[in-house]
Each structure stands twice: as structure tokens, then as C-alpha cells.
């Protein structure tokens, strides 16, 4: 529905907090080596400052490469000593030219941030820090042996937070839990439903395979979209997908009420396009504002009720990517966001009796977690860059740690697809992935021509042809799938 600019989308993978904030404190790996950034190779404006740290990460292309030596192949943690030059900053980390994630700093004093479970063969490797937000000092990187992977991560309950969940919702969650840790379900966002998938010609390039999950958006069901008479068939598309044996996930690019829009109405999910005091609304100081938001929720609820009546369970992902700050529902901090999330949950489940929803939380930061009573699945959106097929294991572990109890971890949006063999090797066994549309699959907006800008055709074929990846033809009959005992 919304074609995102690449510069904005690239930032979606970078909204996670410093990994050190959620790392297991009890693990002390063996120190393999300590490598000073000042002894590295510099690109662009990078240089050594007087006190020995490296700075100058300010322009695209600014990068520092450090060579590390590994005596035995295995998994290693890379601990970076960095500081910000002012405010929160994030920058890219690559190993041998493959992006592994980001490191973050929010203090002008040196602090540690870690990229975990990087697989390194015996020999020398190049560890690089390159500019994303820039404006950091990098002192050194220390290489440790990684903690053994805890397979109990994949032992998740099929019990949904809504005790009145429909049988079909329980069946879907039971199936997802049965597969978790063994396979990864494929998914694709497409605003025109199954027909759009065919028009994208993706199936032509991957051996005729279709994704198990169809991603849709409720954005134009917001009252602002209704007032502009925008045609939308998300409800019909969801029902068709379910009837044809597929799974549906839905997000909501919530267009702000007309009263608060100061820019373009069709971009009114972005804070720079609206002027709204959400904190005042959620604290009861703007009753009219709450009524306007409630009107939007009512509109959405009516559509979800139609899907429920048709028996469709929904992987429901509202208020996504909140911590990034690029949507109005996250622009005023975690406390206000959590109030809105919980309000939405109570309204849809308790007032409207929407029991077909499996609640997928995608706040991109543990500080924004609304609580175990409101979340069935935790997800993260990652746009890692062109032809970056790494497993993103560090983001997997960070997202897992967002919830106090084991929750299934999913890749709720992705730009580039992930190599399933690397996911299996690293144990980043995402419950599912769901590739965004637009430039990530279409060439120059031409629906009938596949774009290799992000995922090359050979990797597309590999992903959809993998025994690790579930496609639509491999799904069981989810209308009769056995409900697990722990889901009752």
C-alpha cells in the first residue's frame, strides 16, 4: 500500500537498543583477542584522535576495518567499546563485507555493545564499523567465544493471551508452535492480495512457489482514508487467502484523524505530517482526541469482525516499529505508546469480542514491551541492505529477550531475504519472515518485472525451494489442524 523510500526503510533494522542491555550477564566467554581500532585501515574521513580512539564517522563511506585472527572455526561475540559524540547513535557492523547488525551508543563515555554469535572460520577476518548515524568514537573490539545456544528458546506455549480465542486462532498458533525451531514460514506483503503476488511474477522466478503468509495493511480503513474514498479490499483479500489455504498477517498504517493532519493526508501515519498530543489523549486530557482515535478503532474492528465471521485467524501486528519514532504512535515515548497498545487490546478483545487475533508485538525495543498479557508473538523488522543474506542472529536474540517469558520470535518485515542455511547454522530460526513489497520485489515500480536489487533470483529460488522454508503448498489444513493441549 505504501511504497517506502529506501533511506527510511534501511533504518527499520536499526531501532534495537544496545545488545549489551539484554545480554546474559552470567556468561563469560573466553577472550580470543583484543584489537585496537587505531591500528585498523581507515576509509573516508575516519582518523585517530589524540587519545587513541577512532572518529570521523560522519559521511557515507566512512569506515574503519580491523583484522582479527581466529584459531578455530566457531561462534564468537564481538564486543565494541564505543561512545557517542552526543545523543543516541547507531552504526553498521560488517564481517568480511557482510553486514551483521548495528552497534549503539547513547553516552559520551565509552560503553560496550556486542554483536553475538558471529560464525567465523579459522583464519583472519575483517571486522568493519561504518557510518549509519555516525558521530561516534570507536576504541577497540574484543572477540570472545559465544555462549552455547539455548535450544529452550524454541519451547513456547501455544496458549494465546486472549482466553476466548477462536478455535481457528488456536489451530494456527498450535501449528506455528509445532514448527518453531524446525522450519521458517515464508511470507510476502502485497497490497493487492493473492492476485498481486501473481502480478509481481515472483512465483515465475522461484519455481512456482507461493508464500505461506500474505501480508496486508488496514491503513485506508482509518477514517481519514474512508473520508477520501480510497478503495481498499484488505478484508476480502484476507478471506480469499484463508479460503485458499494461506495465512494472513495484517499491520495498520494508522492515518491520524483529519483534525490533527498538518501535511499530506496519505502520509498521516508519520509524526511530521500531524500535530497531535497523544500523551494528553491517553491521559484523559483530550476527550475529543480519544473519541477520534476510537472512531478509527471502530472502523478497524468492523472489518476484523467480518474476517472473524469468515473464520479467518489473523496475525495482528498493530502499532508497529514504535521505538523508531517515524510513526505518530511512537513519537511520544514508550509510556504513552504502551497505554495506547493496551487500550487497543482491551477495546478489540473485550468490547468487540475479536477473538480471532494473534497479537504480534513489533515495537523494535524491549523498553516498549506492553507486557506478556498483551503479546502472543514478538517480532522485529529488518532491512539489512542489498544482497545481505546473513541470519541476523543478534537481532533474533535481542528480540527474544524483549519478553520475560519465551515468546515466538518472527521477522515481521524484511527487505532482503535471509539465507535459510545460515539461519539453521546460527539457530536464528525465525517463526516466519514477511518480505515487504515495492522496490524489494518490483523493478522500478513495474509489477510484472522482478527486481534483484535486494534479493537476487538465485537466492529467491534457494529460499523458496529450501526444506527449511514452508510455502503455501506445504501448509496443512489449518481449519482442522489439531489444537495443542497447551492451547486449550
Cα–Cα distance between 375 and 403 in angstroms, integer?
9
C-alpha cell at 29: 566467554
Cβ contacts of residue 395 below 8 Å, gap of 6+?
A: 13, 16, 101, 380, 382
Known catalytic membership, residue 452: no
464 C-beta neighbours (distance < 10 Å), count: 22
Closest by CA position to 313, among listed 141, 176, 470: 176
Q: In Å, what is the CA distance from 471 to each residue of 175, 301, 310, 328, 476?
A: 14, 29, 23, 35, 11
Q: Which of 79, 90, 273, 321 is catalytic?
A: 321
DSSP class of 274: B
Residue with cell 541492505: 385
**Residue 459, C-alpha cell as written in the block:** 537466492
In contact, 194 and 202? CB cutoff 8 Å? no
How far apart are alpha carbons 215 and 440 in whole angstroms? 14
Count CA atoms closer than 13 A to 440's CA, side-chain side. 26
273: nearest Cα among 288, 256, 290, 286: 256
Cell of 63: 569506515
122 catalytically annotated: no
| 270, 326 Cβ separation under 8 angstroms | yes
Residue of 273, 332, 413, 439 marked active site: 413
**Separation in Å, CA 350 to CA 49, 180, 346:** 59, 29, 5
In whole angstroms, give the CA distance from residue 375 to residue 19.
22
In terms of DSSP bridges, do strands 54-55 and 47-48 run parallel, antiparallel, or are they unpaired? antiparallel
| Residues 459, 240 contacting (CB under 8 angstroms) | no
Positions marked active-site: 321, 413
Amino acid at each position: 500500500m505504501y511504497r517506502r523510500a529506501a533511506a527510511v526503510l534501511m533504518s527499520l533494522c536499526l531501532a534495537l537498543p544496545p545488545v549489551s542491555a539484554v545480554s546474559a550477564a552470567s556468561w563469560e566467554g573466553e577472550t580470543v583477542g583484543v584489537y585496537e581500532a587505531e591500528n585498523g585501515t581507515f576509509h573516508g574521513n575516519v582518523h585517530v584522535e589524540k587519545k587513541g580512539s577512532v572518529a570521523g564517522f560522519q559521511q557515507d563511506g566512512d569506515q574503519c576495518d580491523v583484522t582479527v585472527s581466529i584459531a578455530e572455526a566457531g561462534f564468537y561475540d564481538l564486543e565494541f567499546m564505543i561512545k557517542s559524540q552526543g545523543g543516541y547513535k547507531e552504526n553498521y557492523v560488517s564481517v568480511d563485507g557482510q553486514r551483521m547488525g548495528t552497534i549503539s551508543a547513547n553516552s559520551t563515555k565509552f560503553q560496550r555493545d556486542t554483536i553475538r554469535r558471529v560464525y567465523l572460520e579459522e583464519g583472519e577476518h575483517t571486522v568493519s564499523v561504518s557510518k549509519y548515524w555516525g558521530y561516534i568514537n570507536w576504541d577497540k573490539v574484543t572477540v570472545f567465544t559465544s555462549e552455547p545456544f539455548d535450544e529452550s528458546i524454541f519451547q513456547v506455549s501455544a496458549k494465546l493471551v486472549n482466553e476466548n480465542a477462536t478455535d481457528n486462532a488456536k489451530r494456527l498458533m498450535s501449528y506455528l508452535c509445532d514448527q518453531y525451531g524446525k522450519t521458517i514460514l515464508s511470507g510476502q506483503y502485497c497490497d493487492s492480495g493473492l492476485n498481486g503476488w501473481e502480478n509481481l511474477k515472483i512465483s515465475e522466478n522461484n519455481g512456482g512457489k507461493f508464500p505461506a503468509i500474505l501480508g496486508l495493511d488496514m491503513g485506508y480503513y482509518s477514517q481519514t482514508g474512508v473520508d477520501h474514498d480510497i478503495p481498499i479490499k484488505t478484508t476480502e483479500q484476507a478471506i480469499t487467502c484463508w479460503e485458499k489455504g494461506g495465512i494472513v498477517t495484517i499491520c495498520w498504517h494508522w492515518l491520524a484523524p483529519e483534525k490533527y493532519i498538518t501535511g499530506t493526508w496519505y502520509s498521516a501515519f508519520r509524526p511530521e505530517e500531524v500535530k497531535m498530543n497523544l500523551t494528553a489523549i491517553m491521559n484523559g486530557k483530550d476527550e475529543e482526541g480519544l473519541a477520534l482515535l476510537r472512531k478509527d478503532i471502530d472502523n478497524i474492528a468492523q472489518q476484523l469482525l467480518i474476517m472473524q465471521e469468515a473464520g479467518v485467524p489473523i496475525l495482528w501486528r498493530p502499532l508497529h516499529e514504535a521505538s523508531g519514532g517515524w510513526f505518530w504512535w511512537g513519537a511520544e515515548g514508550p509510556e504513552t505508546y504502551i497505554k495506547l497498545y493496551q487500550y487497543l487490546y482491551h477495546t478489540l478483545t473485550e468490547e468487540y469480542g475479536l477473538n480471532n487475533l494473534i497479537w504480534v508485538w513489533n515495537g523494535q525495543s524491549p523498553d516498549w514491551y506492553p507486557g506478556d498479557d498483551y503479546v502472543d508473538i514478538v517480532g522485529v523488522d529488518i532491512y539489512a541492505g542489498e544482497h545481505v543474506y546473513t541470519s541476523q542472529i543478534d537481532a533474533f536474540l535481542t528480540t527474544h529477550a524483549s519478553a520475560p517469558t519465551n515468546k515466538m520470535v518472527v521477522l515481521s518485515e524484511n527487505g532482503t531475504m535471509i539465507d535459510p542455511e545460515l539461519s539453521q547454522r546460527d539457530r536464528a530460526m525465525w517463526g516466519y519472515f514477511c518480505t515487504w513489497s515495492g522496490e524489494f520485489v518490483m523493478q522500478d515500480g513495474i509489477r510484472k518485472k522482478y527486481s534483484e536489487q535486494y534479493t537476487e533470483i538465485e537466492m529467491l529460488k534457494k529460499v523458496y525451494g529450501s526444506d527449511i522454508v514452508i510455502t503455501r503448498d506445504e501448509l496443512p489444513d489449518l481449519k482442522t489442524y489439531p489444537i495443542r493441549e497447551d492451547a486449550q
